[in-house]
Amino acid sequence: MRRVALRGIRAHLVRFILSILAVSLGVAFVAGTFSLRTMMTSTFFGIVDSSMAGDAYVRGTEPVAGYTTTGTTGETRNTVPTSLATQIAGVHGVAKAFAEISGPIVLVGKDGTAGTRSPSFGMALHPNDTTVTVVAGRAPSGPTEIGLESATLRASKLTLGDQTKVVVAGVIRTVRVTGEISKGAPMAGATIVFLDVPSATAAYAADGMVATIAVYANPGVTEADLVENLTPELVRDKAARAEALTGDAMRAEARTDIESQLGFVLAFMLVFAGISLFVGAFIISNTFSMLVRQRTREFALLRAVGASPTQVFASILIQATVVGLLGSAIGIGGGLGLVSLLRVGFAQVGMDLSGSTPLDAQTVVISLLLGTVVAVGAAAFPARRAALTAPIEAMREATAPERSLLARSIVGGILTATGAAGLVVAVLAPDDHGSAMVGVGAGLLMLGTLLLAPFLVRYTLGVLAAVFVATVRPLGRLARGNVVRNPRRTANTASALMIGMALVGAASVLAASATASTRAIVDDGWSSDFSIQSATGNVPIGALADTRTLASVNAVDVVTYGPAVTTGPGETASAENPLMVVGLPVGAFGRSVTIDTVTGALDTLAHGQIAVQKAIAADRGWHLGDEVTFPSRTGTIGARIGAIVDTRLFRSPIIVSDVLFATIIEPAQTTVEDLLITAAPGVTAAELRADLTEVASPYVVLSVLDTEDFAGQLASQVNQILVILYALLGLSIIIAILGIVNTLALSVIERTREIGLMRAVGLGRLQLAGIITIESVLTAVFGTVIGVVLGVAVAAVMPTVFDGVGLTTLAIPWAQLAEMLVLAVVVGILAALWPASRAARLPVLDAVASD
């Protein structure tokens, strides 16, 4: 039997190619995803190993509210004094210890811009730090010199000795590049600028505090011994609030953190790999149905000469295994190619990834196994049908009875209804687990619709087909009949597009809504003439000072953000869930921003009281006049709630005056998000803009925006995210085309006699091609319409549910949805090309005489 099976593949190689292609595509994405993961983790692990080479680390003991501005990983803890480094240098076994001083920086490249938006760090170059080496030139010395990491130097196009500018600690500084410095591993595109220790300390540790101190051991002292020696010293100095841990433990923490961050991205990519495999499985199953159908007589012969059903079944499974293995092997190669392309692409934009080969044994085994299991699983159903067909039955004109759709439709209907109910509940009671409801509801709705799809094909496709039935007689009616004839198959074929279009439909509605919402918020609440914002998210303090000196400016209101552990009446402090606090000058209300108060008054902010958002007040049970407390360096500070407000202009739940803000938020945790500028009397917008642009341009990363620009900028950011989704849509379209081609080819073969009959009674070749094209277009449009309806339905719920995060307005981008529909028609036509020409070329007599 094995010989029969293998000969079968050789004889029908062309027919197997589609299946192999389908497996390859799915596997390529799985293999590519895993390889990318390997490559990225090895790159980031390389960074961890090369930049965290200490034998022990000293860090704070208590977690604090905060987020990292320097890209360091792990939870944020209290900072420790830099002086601790000298203090512990004398501990037994310590060779050297130095505070790790780093922070954000903007480096102006040769072309006068800050280049890509990759993370940029400035860090102190300790003279005796062995983890970095000066490759060329010399180490920077003094505030006017910098060293650049090798990849940064290349990306910036600067050369040693060049003069350039950096923005550090909020001010522009002219500096000279004195050295190229290597960290011993690719830095994944991060911009790294080295400063000498005094400059770095002045910029990033002006208060004498740092996050960590790296400790190196004398030869022969183990990491554990080192920590044991350090601990008593740290415990004694209670004020320092510091603890020691081994280098291995520190690196392990960093790795875990990186893995969990990458895990999210990879999970997202794996979903798409899963979709392609799912559709691939369907294509395989279709191909085997086609083969089984064509070879029914051959199987009948084998059965008649004594082959058992099991043997027939096994022979088909052997073929599936070969298809699976071959497809997986090609897929793994394709995945590698994909990742190599990505690496080249990343390198082009200045992101160096590790050179180590990303293919590990685990990836190969998983990919091979997955591809083969999917292929064998998908072939099992047609194989079973072939094996169980009685020999004599196979001889007759076989018309496979369509299995009932009832069970599938009932389950699908229940899931769809439950999903829809979930969405409705989410809309009606958006406060109670609204987002979870939307997630579960959308998932159920999708799954239910996929199950319900054959039912929909049978009962709704007629509506879609009505156009064709009415305009292209009688081809439209014939095509409709063919599409509806096997609803299960049509639905499965359309599923790839359905999923892809649902995702893109939802995303485009969300994008349009987000843009419209922001626009509405800005229009309502923003009354300043201009805003200055930074691409790094943090406006340098120097720019503020410069702006204030302009004669054309009436007022500059600084909007600052920072996290604070906020404790209401009867609550216990928890560093796990800090609240974002926004600080504004008291004068800004009514001048730069308009905020609706529910109760109380914003004047109270001038007297150290705070304003809270309506939503958080309801959530935490806070009332006007309640006192909440914040930790600060000088002890706990209490503040009364002077106003409950309802505004979308600020994302943070708590609004305080700039004075209170400076007391409760550490400078290291402060982000200057916005400068809101109002014009002096008699100054035109154009004049003010010109002045502001002149101030902002030296900082390279600043932009001057009016309300119009602001909305436009947001729209362009949203569109950048959409590009990624469109790339994924491209994938689902390729797979959809493959699936439709496959289904049409199968159906042409199955309908050979019917086609012959119609040709005999006078159907022209073009008419025949027309029927098949209409079938294809109907299938594609069906998948798209259902997908878009689903996507839009889910997305339409979001503004109600996510009202609290600023999504207030529902906007449906009709033009874009119409484009998707046009795309579906194009996909349908493309997919029909080959099967239609194949059918048209069938000789009439062959078709009539076909058995």
List of residues contacting another protein (CB under 8 A)? 297, 300-301, 304-305, 392, 395, 397, 399, 473-474, 477-478, 480-482, 484-485, 753-754, 757-765, 767, 844-845, 848, 851
Tell me the sheet residues that pair with 209. 81
Q: Compute the distance between CA of residue 416 and CA of residue 355 in angstroms, rounded to an integer.
A: 48
By beta-carbon proximity to another protein, the closer residue of 91 and 301 is 301
Smallest gap, in angstroms, from Cβ of residue 773 to another protein?
16
By beta-carbon proximity to another protein, the closer residue of 581 and 758 is 758
The answer for residues whose C-beta is within 8 angstroms of residue 7's C-beta and 6 or more apart is none
By beta-carbon proximity to another protein, the closer residue of 11 and 845 is 845
By beta-carbon proximity to another protein, the closer residue of 408 and 759 is 759
Smallest gap, in angstroms, from Cβ of residue 757 to another protein?
6
By beta-carbon proximity to another protein, the closer residue of 486 and 528 is 486
Smallest gap, in angstroms, from Cβ of residue 485 to another protein?
6
Look at residues 284, 281, 290, 287 and name the one whose alpha carbon lies nearest to residue 751. 290
Smallest gap, in angstroms, from Cβ of residue 473 to another protein?
6
Look at residues 602, 647, 642 and name the one whose alpha carbon lies nearest to residue 623. 642
Give the C-alpha distances (Å, rounded to integers) separating 65 from 78, 131, 630: 9, 30, 11
Q: How many CA atoms lie within 13 A of 451 on its CB side?
A: 18
Smallest gap, in angstroms, from Cβ of residue 452 to another protein?
22
The answer for residues whose C-beta is within 8 angstroms of residue 759's C-beta and 6 or more apart is 768, 842, 844, 847
**One-letter amino acid of 195:** L
By beta-carbon proximity to another protein, the closer residue of 182 and 294 is 294
CA angle at 343 for the pair 103 and 25, rounded to the nearest 5°? 130
Q: Which secondary structure element, helix H or strand E, spans residue 642, and what is its range?
A: strand 637-646
- Alpha helices (runs of H) in 12-66, residue ranges in sequence order: 13-51
Smallest gap, in angstroms, from Cβ of residue 761 to another protein?
5
The tokens for 826 are 């194009």
By beta-carbon proximity to another protein, the closer residue of 301 and 823 is 301
By beta-carbon proximity to another protein, the closer residue of 611 and 771 is 771
By beta-carbon proximity to another protein, the closer residue of 242 and 394 is 394
Smallest gap, in angstroms, from Cβ of residue 469 to another protein?
12
Q: Residue 402, SS3? A: coil
Q: Are 178 and 146 in contact (CB under 8 A)?
A: yes
By beta-carbon proximity to another protein, the closer residue of 302 and 375 is 302
By beta-carbon proximity to another protein, the closer residue of 497 and 763 is 763
**Residues recorded for the chain:** 851
* C-alpha Rg value of the chain to the nearest Å: 33
Look at residues 382, 387, 389, 441 and name the one whose alpha carbon lies nearest to residue 417. 441
Smallest gap, in angstroms, from Cβ of residue 770 to another protein?
11
Three-state secondary structure readout of 447-489? HHHHHHHHHHHHHHHHHHHHHHHHHCCCHHHHHHHHHHHCHHH
Which stretches of 223-348 are assigned E, i.e. beta strand? 242-246
Smallest gap, in angstroms, from Cβ of residue 477 to another protein?
7
Smallest gap, in angstroms, from Cβ of residue 486 to another protein?
11
Q: Residue 545, SS3? A: helix
**One-letter amino acid of 729:** L
**Residue whose tokens read 């959308």:** 442
By beta-carbon proximity to another protein, the closer residue of 208 and 481 is 481
Which stretches of 650-701 are assigned E, i.e. beta strand? 654-657, 671-679
By beta-carbon proximity to another protein, the closer residue of 429 and 849 is 849
Smallest gap, in angstroms, from Cβ of residue 494 to another protein?
19
Smallest gap, in angstroms, from Cβ of residue 27 to another protein?
37
Smallest gap, in angstroms, from Cβ of residue 356 to another protein?
58
- Alpha helices (runs of H) in 621-657, residue ranges in sequence order: none
Smallest gap, in angstroms, from Cβ of residue 503 to another protein?
33
The tokens for 516 are 């419209």
Smallest gap, in angstroms, from Cβ of residue 21 to another protein?
30
Look at residues 277, 367, 378 and name the one whose alpha carbon lies nearest to residue 738. 277
Smallest gap, in angstroms, from Cβ of residue 801 to another protein?
44
Residue 67 phi, psi (nearest 5):
-135, 160
Give the Cβ contact number of residue 407 at 10 Å: 10
By beta-carbon proximity to another protein, the closer residue of 465 and 507 is 465
By beta-carbon proximity to another protein, the closer residue of 343 and 480 is 480
**One-letter amino acid of 695:** V
Smallest gap, in angstroms, from Cβ of residue 743 to another protein?
16
User: Could you tell me the end-to-end alpha-carbon distance of the chain, in angstroms, rounded to an integer?
Assistant: 25
CA 289 to chain centre: 37
The answer for residues whose C-beta is within 8 angstroms of residue 31's C-beta and 6 or more apart is 331, 332, 334, 335, 336, 359, 363, 364, 367
The tokens for 657 are 């005056």
Give the C-alpha distances (Å, rounded to integers) separating 683 from 83, 205, 590, 697: 51, 41, 20, 21
Look at residues 125, 78, 74 and name the one whose alpha carbon lies nearest to residue 101. 125
Q: Are 514 and 795 in contact (CB under 8 A)?
A: no
Q: How many CA atoms lie within 13 A of 576 on its CB side?
A: 2
